[in-house]
Amino acid sequence: MAIDVSIRNELIRRARDKRLRQSVWKSTEPCCWHPYRVLHPVIGIPFTELSAWNFIADLLSAGHDVTTIALEKPPGQIGYVLKTAGYAGCPEIYIKLTLSSRYINGRSFHDSEY
């Protein structure tokens, strides 16, 4: 299911602003945020925190497919999922994001086989 353009724009805006993005593990909102374990699909070097957020914003800006899922933790919260090709010979990259009142929350960034 395609996401509304206003949601996409908000995800992009927050992903590009270091003051509005985070990837914090909490027992109520667990995350598996490991960009440094994933090779960039074009240049083949591990992502940094900054390059991961830029990559996400670029995917969203380019109109990359985003699916939504209902999360179990916290119950009922919407997760925005992007899957994209990994580096040559590597699994695809799995990215899951949420929106809170202020932040874009990085919940997952890892190889799909993780």
How does DSSP assign 32-95, residue by residue? EE-GGGSB-TTT-SB--HHHHHHHHHHHHHTT---EEEE-TTTTT-EEEEEEE--STTSPPEEE
Backbone angles phi, psi at 91, to 5 degrees: -65, 165
Dihedral pair phi/psi, residue 28, rounded to 5°: -85, -15
What confidence score (pLDDT) does residue 44 get?
Answer: 95
Tally of CA atoms within 13 A in the half-sphere of 39 that contains its CB = 13
- pLDDT reported for residue 1: 58
According to DSSP, the β-strands at 104-111 and 21-22 are parallel
pLDDT for 113 = 82
Alpha-carbon distance of 113 to 19, in angstroms, equals 31
pLDDT at 76: 87
pLDDT at position 33, please? Answer: 95
State pTM to two decimals.
Answer: 0.94
pLDDT of residue 25: 85
pLDDT of residue 100: 92
Ordered per-residue pLDDT tens for the chain, 114 residues: 579 999 999 999 999 999 999 998 888 788 899 999 999 999 999 999 999 999 999 999 999 999 999 999 888 899 999 999 999 999 999 999 999 999 999 999 999 987
Pairing status of strand 104-111 against strand 67-70 = unpaired
What is the C-alpha separation between 51 and 6, in angstroms, rounded? 24
